[in-house]
């Protein structure tokens, strides 16, 4: 078994920023003698160690402010760590910020050469790739226009095109790909898949769990500057989603004034189970609902997600014309989803309570899970029973 060498080694890295409390330059000058009292330390990264092997695709995910983009910039050498060290090898290309490496007063053509030079290509090498760069970007008619007149999508198109044509061993991509339109995003995903097939290394920051699940063979979850998961993508997305739900619950608890809606109905225990029959598999979702105030017209919604966060199905009882009890007390609601044709594996159930107006009263993401049995034929999200016909050869 061949062990891939490391292309990036992050060893016990911490990064501190100083946050100034002064609201203006005038205030800073007025309190210059006690400037330290007007500032506080913010640790964006704390003791992060990461070993990235050649040929892997690593996803960095986390809440806003968790430190994932800071870590990507440290890996890329854009900012230096306060402590610890980063070792890289090979040619690197980075897409970290919209328009980074571009000069607004230069044309797209001039910026291609400037950006390529920053990424390590000489003029002769850039000449060889120039036509392919422009063609991939799809902005041929604007290539001689100053980039300060470009839209955000045009920025991303040209920047990504340069980055993937400089023959990088390591590609760093921040959330900037979300700016491009859908056809260009598909084009980028195809290019990333091509890079993966060629054995290049990719480190990706994304808020799209579906994108991370499709592209990454390893996920790092960041929280408050620290790594809380490093490994299996499905488990990483679960950790991330659990964190989102925990934050939501804590926010509600910390709110000084609870709305009356939050007290009307609350979700209790949620269970999900599969019932395997002779010719179909049903999923039964059972939940308790506590009615604290008389609430006419309330209903329930149920959704099925993959462990990577891909929404497969969602329904609510408002379209079924059902009426639920309005009397105070605990009620049990059982929803049967018949003949579920999902492939083998674990799936998550989310449940919500609300009103016909679209108002949500209570919600619990990833409230329960169920397992689908192994497929007889094939593998994937869908469970199918393929039919094979062999026709006689026609002379």
Q: What CA–CA distances, in Å, run from 312 to 92, 93, 348, 350?
A: 37, 35, 10, 11
The pLDDT of residue 334: 94
Helix (H) or strand (E) run with residue 210 in it: helix 209-215
The pLDDT of residue 389: 86
**Tokens linked to 20:** 């100034």
Strands (DSSP E) found in the chain: 6-20, 39-53, 57-62, 83-88, 92-95, 170-173, 201-205, 218-223, 226-231, 265-276, 281-291, 299-305, 311-316, 329-337, 345-354, 360-372
- Report the SS3 class of residue 256: coil
Instruction: Give the separation between CA 105 and CA 117, rounded to whole angstroms.
Output: 17
Every domain of the chain and the residues it spans: 6-242, 262-372
CATH architecture of 262-372: Distorted Sandwich (2.70)
Task: Confirm whether 6-242 and 262-372 share one CATH topology.
Answer: no
Q: What is the CATH number of domain 6-242?
A: 3.40.50.300
The pLDDT of residue 1: 46
- b/e sequence 68-79, b meaning 16+ C-beta within 10 Å: bbbbbbbbbeee
State phi, psi for 185 to the nearest 5 degrees: -60, -40
Residue among 219, 231, 242, 217 at smallest CA distance from 61: 219
| Mean pLDDT in order along the chain per 10 residues (395 residues) | 78 88 62 62 92 93 88 90 92 74 87 86 90 90 90 84 87 74 80 89 84 86 92 83 67 53 79 88 94 90 84 90 85 92 86 90 87 74 82 71
Q: How many other CB atoms are there within 10 angstroms of residue 143's CB atom?
A: 18
Q: Cβ-count burial of 63 within 10 angstroms (0-12 exposed, 13-18 middle, 19+ buried)?
A: middle
């Amino acid at each position: 078994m061949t062990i891939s060498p490391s292309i990036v080694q992050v060893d016990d890295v911490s990064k501190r920023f100083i946050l100034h409390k002064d609201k203006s330059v005038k205030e800073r000058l007025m309190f210059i003698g006690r400037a330290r009292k007007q500032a506080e330390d913010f640790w964006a990264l704390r003791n992060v160690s990461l070993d990235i092997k050649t040929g892997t695709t690593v996803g960095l995910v986390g809440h806003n402010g968790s430190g994932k983009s800071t870590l990507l910039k440290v890996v890329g050498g854009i900012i230096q760590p306060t402590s610890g060290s980063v070792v890289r090898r090979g040619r690197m290309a980075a897409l970290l910020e919209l328009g980074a490496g571009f000069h607004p007063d230069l044309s797209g053509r001039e910026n291609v050469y400037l950006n390529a030079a920053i990424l390590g290509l000489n003029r002769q090498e850039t000449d060889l790739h120039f036509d392919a760069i422009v063609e991939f970007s799809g902005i041929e008619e604007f290539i001689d226009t100053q980039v300060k007149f470009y839209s955000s999508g045009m920025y991303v198109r040209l920047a990504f095109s340069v980055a993937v044509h400089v023959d990088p061993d390591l590609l760093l991509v921040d959330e900037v790909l979300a700016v491009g339109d859908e056809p260009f995003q598909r084009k980028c995903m195809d290019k990333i898949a091509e890079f993966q097939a060629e054995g290049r290394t990719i480190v990706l920051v994304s808020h799209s769990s579906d994108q991370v699940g499709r592209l990454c063979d390893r996920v790092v979850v960041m929280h408050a500057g620290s790594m809380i998961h490093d490994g299996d993508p499905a488990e990483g997305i679960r950790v991330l989603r659990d964190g989102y739900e925990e934050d939501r619950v804590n926010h509600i608890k910390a709110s000084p004034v609870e709305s009356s809606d939050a007290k009307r109905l609350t979700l209790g225990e949620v269970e999900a189970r599969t019932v395997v029959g002779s010719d179909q598999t049903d999923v039964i979702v059972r939940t308790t609902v506590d009615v604290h105030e008389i609430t006419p017209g309330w209903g329930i919604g149920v959704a099925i997600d993959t462990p990577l966060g891909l929404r497969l199905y969602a329904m609510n009882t408002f379209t079924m014309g059902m009426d639920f009890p309005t009397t105070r007390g605990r009620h049990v609601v059982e929803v049967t989803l018949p003949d579920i044709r999902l492939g083998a594996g674990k799936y998550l159930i989310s449940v919500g309570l609300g009103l016909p107006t679209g108002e949500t009263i209570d919600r619990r993401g990833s409230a329960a899970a169920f397992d689908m049995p192994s497929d007889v034929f094939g593998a994937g999200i869908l469970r199918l029973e393929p039919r094979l016909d062999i026709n006689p050869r026609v002379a």
